[in-house]
Every structure is written in C-alpha cells, then in structure tokens.
Structure 1
Amino acid sequence: MSGFQGAAAVVGAANTPLHKRGTSAKTSLELTLEAILAAAEDAGVDPHDIDGFSSYAADDNEGLAVGAALGVREIRWSTLVWGGGGGGVSAAVNAAAAAVASGQAEMVAVYRGLSEADAGRQSYRKGHLGPLYGAHGMLVPAQVCALRTQRMIEVDGVPAEALEALVAAAYHHAQTNPAAVAYGKPLDPAVYADSRMISEPLRLYDCSRENDGAGAVLVTTAERARRLRRPPAYVLSAVQGSGPGWFESAENEDTYTSAGFHPAMVERLWRGAGIGPGDVDVVQVYENFSGPAVASLIDLGLVPPGPDATKVLHRDNLLAPHGALPLNTAGGNLAEGFVHGIGLVVEAVRQIQGRSPNQVPGAAISLLLGGPMAPLVSATLFGSAATLS
C-alpha cells in the first residue's frame, strides 16, 4: 500500500444544469463559479476557504482567475493537467489530492466548465490530431477511436455487443436521473441498431454528447473531511500518464487496441490501494465513445479480453443496484451529459456518499477512469471510511 492512501478526501460535489452545446446564456467562468459554490455548499464549507484549483482539458478558466472571482483568502495551488480532453479527468483529482497530502494546500477545487458559445468547440483537442491524420481526411476524435475500436473487434475478437451493452446501461441509468439530458428518453435496442453510423463501427448512440455546463468537487485533508457534512470519499490510489510508445497518432503499434492503461500503471493503481479488480463495487468510465470505454475496462482487468468480454459486458450485469459491475450510474457522458467527464467525478464520489440516483448498496470502492485512447490516461480509486480500517 501507498502512504498516499487515505491522506485526502472529496467532501463536496456538484454539477450545474446541462444545456445543449452553445445554448447557455452563461460564460464558462460563470458556470465554473456556480459549480464550485454549489460544491462548497454541498460540503458545508466557506468557499473563501478554498486555496487550490485543479482542472484539465485545456480549460480556459485558470485557477488564479477562478480564485480571484471567488474572492478566496489565498491561492496556494493552481494547476492544469496536460493531455487533451478526458485523459485529465482523474488526473485533476490526483493533482488536488497530491497537493493536499503534501501540505501545499488544504482545500482544492477540481472543476471543469464549458460554454461553447464562449470558449469554442473542441478546444481541448487542438494539437492532438496532426498531419498524419489530416492528410488522410481524419479530422475528429470519433475517427481515431473508430479505427482502434474496429481493430479491437476484428483482431482481438471483442464482440460488438459489448459496446451496445455499455451504451444500454448508460441510458438505463439516465432514466432515474432527472438531471440527465437523456432522462425520459429510453434507448430501445432497435433504435440503437438503426441509428446512423458516425464512423464505423461507432453509431450515433456510441458517441458522447456535448453540453454546456460545469461540475466541481472539493478535495481536502482526511482530518478536516471527517468534520464536514458529507461522508468523505477518500482517495485510496491514483495514477496518470502514458506508456512507452503510446500516443493517439501512433498507428499500428503493439498496443493499438489498448485504451492506454499500460500494465505497470494498472499494477501501481491496485497496489496503491492494496486491492484488485474484483474488489471494485462501481465504476465510472470515461466514454468519449463506447469502444474506448470497453478497452479501458479490459486494460484494468475488470473485463476479460477478446470474445469473453461479453461474459461481463452484458446489460443486466452493468446495472445498479444488483449488477456485478455497475457502471456510469448517472448516465455517463453518453446519457447524463458531456462536459469533458466532470460529471463522472461527481458520480464516483456520490456513490461512496450513498446518494447516487442509482445507488449501489454499500458501495465502498468506487473507480474513476479517464481518457481512453487519448495521449494521457488516468485513474482514481475512492473508498469509504471502512476501507481505511
């Protein structure tokens, strides 16, 4: 186990209402401030006590500006994780936990806000789709992920039904989450099968939504967390990075169908918490598209590779409260809404706190996975107080 284990915890979590991309009347900064203030209220803390800020995905709202707008007493920590879009989801939490555990800050806000009319579309991917792709007409992330997903299906033998099961679970969970954009819009299997192809083999419903909105969580010391309103979601273990030879534009390498979680990284994650894949109660996996999310689950050892993937990835097994691997229990990027995955962080924490719209009974280990098939990937294991004893 690592000395990092249990030194920091999330104590407040909140999302703003979500809007169709480009339709919010608020700026990205306004949405970010709204989310942080809501997270502070959720935790029962004075927002002026926040002294650190952490974000990702080329967020335009740097911590110094956010802190100034909030009128905090002091800014002791401000960081932005490099690495495209969703790869930094967990990494931003990890950076906040590292700041708290090392004494650099005491209360760090992890946030992501986006208003596309204000900040533009897909600013997070600039610089990651270079001439190798553009010269061949590959201009959007869906195309890159589709190539890798197709190889996973054709060469690795992962059944396409595994992708559909993940999508079905997300839409099922959204039906009991009034905040989800797909709330009241269940996905029929026939509708999924008949939906238009975006980039083969990814259909419309395999693709994440794009929304205006924001989310935030507050990370503080374990000691302070125990005195606050919500049950702490302790950070048990955390990893981020990239393996040798891995990059989204490196085609035909040996790990082409991996999500990017290389074996040494995965081993560090489990060793840091002193647990294994079988101990996880609930998973929030970043699904920019369904295929990369499936690859993430395989990389982490939660799902067997190849044709056996559907032994785990079938719809009923992925549903809360009784599935063996409940995932994306608020609807995920596919059905709850997509602000670069910050909603997944909020839901991972809420599962530990016992207040998810699709609560897994007694959830003690909650796994957050960020950035599949991106230049950077990251993961965070959250645990209840019981996991520290």
Structure 2
Amino acid sequence: MAREDVMKDATAIVGIGQTPFAKRLPESEKALACRAVLQALDDAGISPSEVDGFASYTMEETDEVEVAKAIGAGDVTFFSKVGYGGGGSCATVAHLAAALATGQATVGVAWRSRKRGSGPRPWRNTTAQLPTPAQWTRPFGLLRPADEIGMLTRRYMHEYGATRDHLFNVALACRNRANQNPAAMMYERPLTREMYMTSRWISEPLCLFDNCLETDGALACVLVSADRARDCRRKPVYVHSAAQGLPAQHHGMVNYWCDDPLRGPAWTAAQQLWKHADFTPQDVDVAQIYDAFTALIPLSLEGYGFCGRGEGAAFTEGGALEVGGRLPLNTSGGGLSEAYVHGFNLITEGVRQLRGTSTAQVPDAATCLVTAGEGVPTSALLLRS
C-alpha cells in the first residue's frame, strides 16, 4: 500500500487544550504541560488512561515519562521527540498520525510547554551556542535568531525589493486577529503603522514588532483514528497530509553560504506535502504560517506555492492576509501577537478554524495549512474538516 494511502485522512485531531498565556505564570512547565494535556483529553471526551502515544519537542523540558505518570496514562507503546525548536511543531502531529495509522498506538497526545517569558534567555551564553555551524557565526556577532534572520531579511529586501511596509503588513494582520482573541497576549492592543515604523530596532532591519513574543504557556492536542474520531465529543479535524523538510547542505538560520540562501526548508517540506495531498495551495481556505519573525511569512508564502519566487512580499499587499483577503493568516494572532510557544498555537488555531469556533472565523473554512519554522529543518500539516 502506498504511503499516501496509509496516511491520508486516516487520523484526526479530536481534542485541543491550552493554558493561559502570559509573560509570567507561577506554575512549572510540567504543571502547565499536564493542564494542557488534560484539557485536550477532556475536549475529546477521552480518559487519560487510554493514552498510549506521545510526541513532543527535543527542547521540551518535561518528558513523556513525567507527563504519562502525572496524567494517569496506561501502557505507552509509542513516543517520539522532534528537533529544531519551532521547526518541530507540525512534526509532532505527523509522528502521531503515522503511529496511529500503522497500529503503533490508538490515542496520541502531542504538546509543548514553555516558560520563555519568565525563564532564562538562552542566547546570552555564547559559549553554550557553539556547535557547528554556530562556531562560525556566534563569535562574530550573530548571537540570536533575530540577528540571523535579520541578515536573511536584508538579503531578501536587496534581491526582491521588499520593504518594511511589507513586513508591517504581516505584523498588522497578526495583531488585528489577536485584537479579536481574548486569549491573546496582545488582545485589545492595536498596532499602527506609526508605532511600527518608530519602534526600536532588535536586529536591523527587524524592529520590535517584527519579532515574536516571549511567552509562558502550554498547548496540547489529541489524535485518534478517523474511525474513532466520528464518535468523539468534538468535530474531527483530519490530518490530510504531513511532511518534514531538511534541504541538502542545509545549515539552519545561518544558511548564507548555501547556493540559494532564500530557498529554505519550506520548499522541501512543501514538495512532500503537496505530493501526498488531493489539494493545491489554491484550495487552502486559511493558513497558520510560522511567524517567529515577520520576514518568514513572505519566504513561506513562496516556499509553499502561494506565489512565485520573489513575490512573497507583494503578496501581503492590499489586505491579502486579513480575513476576507486572498489568504487569511494566523487568525489567533500567531507567534507575533497571540503567544510564542514554538508554533503549537498555530496547530490548535487550525483546528478551531475547521471546527468553526475561531475568534476570527473564516466563513466555511474547510482546509487549513499549518507550518512550522522556516529557516530551520521544518514540518507542515494540511488539515481538513
């Protein structure tokens, strides 16, 4: 049986959960993780004792052993971890979908818990950040992801004429949606062009509003087989296609010595994603595209086939990313304006859109693209109702 026949629409997300998002939350990452997982299971109407599959990030501080014990899971027959920070978000769901489709588990839980808002700043200790290729960049001033993406952004602006107004279009679309979302950290905090253009630099050409939030919080989702999903408490959201992407000779966000540094992992993941899908980019009703930095959106729009090479910046014009536009984007506010929990909130918002319960609902949304971090080895999901 072909791989696409095994995976396509064989599993569904039937439960989602999240804690509040804030700059500082009092609970531990473990407690937040368990709260999100238990909420997702309750949303699905499934007992914790039925969970036999787990997937999380390699950067997740709370491992599956601790979560399984704390929530009261039964025997666990599948568990995996995905690397590359925000690049792993969609892959956690993809791993569970594969495990369920091949009989390695029956109820899978994926989650991410993070105290980045109140926790330590990992980029301050440069000596701890020196594996290849960072040994060639950190000592010379590229200390943080913002610095690395800042260089990439400047190259993109030089090559294709992108401007700060194009980046503002992205920031504004995300903020407008957060203004509709009571759970968002930027709820009822509007953004204007003047605020954007006069804000402080973080790493030129990236200003304050080009960078994601620093957030405490946790999210989780529950997957089961398509057959079981029909009997769960909530409307199922099917995993139609899933992919990961690591291009040849890739070196992460400092991919400057590659022959084509502006052709990132999104292109590789997209080829796999669309290869195994019945849909095309033109069939996508709403997208949740990873937005740790505004500049990643034009790059991802090109990589996933919504426009041609070099056209991603222009795609953002004319309200294209707003509800009612060409491609409504990050409808909960995304990492820029809802919360930054390594992209997991993009997955849960995709589920809400296809359930019809988003605070910025796209009318009759039936297909949703969710992507993980561009610039690092990445992953993506195509969800359908």
TM (norm. structure 2) is 0.93
Q: In the alignment, what sits opposite 1:69? A: 70
Cα separation, 1, equivalents of 2:114 and 2:315: 34
What's 2:187 paired with? 183
Identical columns (%): 35
- Aligned pairs (5 A) from 1:1-389: 2-20=5-23, 23-83=24-84, 85-116=85-116, 120-122=120-122, 127=131, 130-248=134-252, 249-263=254-268, 265-306=269-310, 308-314=311-317, 316-320=319-323, 322-374=324-376, 376-384=377-385
Q: Deviations over 1:63-104 (max 9, x none)?
A: 122101111111111111022x11001111111111111111
What letter is aligned with 2:8? Q
Letter of the 2:322 partner, please give it. L
* C-alpha distance after superposition, 1:208-261 (max 9, x if no partner): 001110000101111111101111110111110301111223423122123322
Distance in 2, Cα, partners of 1:360 & 1:171: 16
Shift, 1:50, TM fit: 1.3
RMSD, matched Cα: 1.9
How big is the shift at 1:270?
A: 1.0
| Partner SS for 2:213 | coil
**Aligned residue type for 2:114:** L
- Residue 208 of structure 1 aligns with an amino acid whose one-letter code is C
Aligned partner of residue 139 in structure 1, secondary structure: coil
- Amino acid across the alignment from 1:188: T
SS at 2:111's partner residue?
Answer: strand
Q: Distance in 1 between matches of 2:357 and 2:122?
A: 32
Distance 2:166 2:224 in 1: 38
Counterpart residue identity of residue 313, structure 1:
T
Aligned 8 A contact 1:236 1:383 in 2:
yes
Q: 1:14-63: per-residue Cα shift (whole Å, max 9, x none)?
A: 2110110xx22100000000000111111121122111111115111111
**Cα pair 1:62 1:80 within 8 Å, conserved:** no
Shift of the alpha carbon at 1:130? Answer: 1.7
| SS of residue matched to 1:143 | helix
Residues in 1 aligned to 2:16 and 2:231: alpha-carbon distance in whole angstroms: 16
**Partners of 1:195 and 1:24 in 2: how far apart?**
27
- Aligned partners of 1:351, 1:117: CA distance in 2, in Å? 27
Q: Is the 8 A contact 2:199 2:209 kept in 1?
A: yes
Give the residue type in structure 2 aligned to 1:274: D
DSSP 3-state at the match of 1:60: coil
Q: CA deviation at 1:204?
A: 0.4
Deviations 1:118-143 (A, max 9, x none): 86444998857621112201111100
Maintained 8 Å contact 2:21/2:215? yes
Matched residue SS, 1:155: helix
- Taking structure 1 as reference, are residues 115 and 297 closer, same or farther at Cα in structure 2, changes over 3 Å only? same
Letter paired with 1:53: F
Contact 1:51–1:74 (Cα < 8 Å) also in 2: yes
Number of positions where the alignment pairs a residue of Structure 1 with one of Structure 2: 377
Counterpart secondary structure, 2:6:
coil
Find the aligned partners of 2:129 and 2:237 in 1 and give their Cα distance. Answer: 30
In structure 2, how many angstroms separate the alpha carbons of the residues matched to 1:152 and 1:116? 29
Kindly indicate whether the alpha-carbon contact (under 8 Å) linking 1:156 and 1:305 is maintained by their aligned counterparts in 2: no
Q: 1:330-355 CA distances to partner (integer Å, 9 max, x unpaired)?
A: 00000001111111111011111111
Q: Once structures 1 and 2 are overlaid, which stretch shifts more, 148-157 or 198-207?
A: 148-157
Measured in 2, the distance between the counterparts of 1:277 and 1:301 equals 6
Larger deviation, residues 292-301 vs 208-217: 292-301
Contact 2:130 2:138 in 1 (8 A): no
Cα distance between partner residues in 2 of 1:67 and 1:126: 34
Contact 1:52 1:63 in 2 (8 A): no
